[in-house]
Amino acid sequence: MSDIDRITQDALEAIAAAGTLDELDEVRVRVTGKRSELAGIQASMRDLDPEGRKALGQQLNAFRGTFQAAFDARHEALAAAALDAQLESERLDLTAPPRRLPPGRPHLLTQVEQEMLDVFVGMGYRVAEGPEAESGTYNFDLLNIEADHPARQEMDTIYVDGFDDVVLRTHTSPVQARVMTTQAPPIAVVCPGRTYRADAADATHSPVFSQVEGLVVAEGITMADLRGTLLEFSRRMFGADREIRLRPSFFPFTEPSAEVDVSFEGAGGNHGWLEILGSGMVDPNVLAFCGIDPDRYTGFAFGIGIERVAMLRHQVRDIRDLFDADARFLARF
Residue 325: strand pairing partners:
none
Residue 113 neighbours by CB distance under 10 Å: 22
Residue 261: strand pairing partners:
245, 275
Smallest gap from residue 160 Cβ to another protein (A): 6
By beta-carbon proximity to another protein, the closer residue of 60 and 127 is 127
User: CB-based burial of residue 202 (10 Å sphere; 0-12 exposed, 13-18 middle, 19+ buried)?
Assistant: exposed
Radius of gyration of the chain (CA): 43
Burial 299-322 (b: 16+ CB within 10 A, else e): bbbbbbbbbbbbbbeeebeebebb
By beta-carbon proximity to another protein, the closer residue of 12 and 216 is 216
By beta-carbon proximity to another protein, the closer residue of 19 and 102 is 102
Q: What are phi and psi of 208, to 5 degrees?
A: -120, 135
> Which residue, among 137, 144, 139, 138, has the nearest Cα to 252 in the 3D structure?
144
As a whole number of angstroms, the distance between CA 252 and CA 248 comes to 13
Smallest gap from residue 146 Cβ to another protein (A): 9
By beta-carbon proximity to another protein, the closer residue of 21 and 201 is 201
Smallest gap from residue 315 Cβ to another protein (A): 19
Smallest gap from residue 327 Cβ to another protein (A): 5
Identify residue 63 by its one-letter amino acid code.
Answer: F
Smallest gap from residue 133 Cβ to another protein (A): 5
Smallest gap from residue 283 Cβ to another protein (A): 6
As a whole number of angstroms, the distance between CA 215 and CA 12 comes to 93
By beta-carbon proximity to another protein, the closer residue of 68 and 222 is 222
Smallest gap from residue 108 Cβ to another protein (A): 9
By beta-carbon proximity to another protein, the closer residue of 255 and 318 is 255
Smallest gap from residue 284 Cβ to another protein (A): 5
As a whole number of angstroms, the distance between CA 92 and CA 101 comes to 19
Task: Please spell the DSSP secondary structure of 99-141, one letter per residue.
Answer: PPP------HHHHHHHHHHHHHHHTT-EE----SEEEHHHHTG
By beta-carbon proximity to another protein, the closer residue of 92 and 267 is 92
3-class secondary-structure state, position 1: coil
Residue 304: strand pairing partners:
212, 277
By beta-carbon proximity to another protein, the closer residue of 65 and 186 is 186
Q: Measure the CA dihedral 260/266/270/271, to 10°.
A: 20
Residue 72, Cα to own-chain centre: how many angstroms? 55
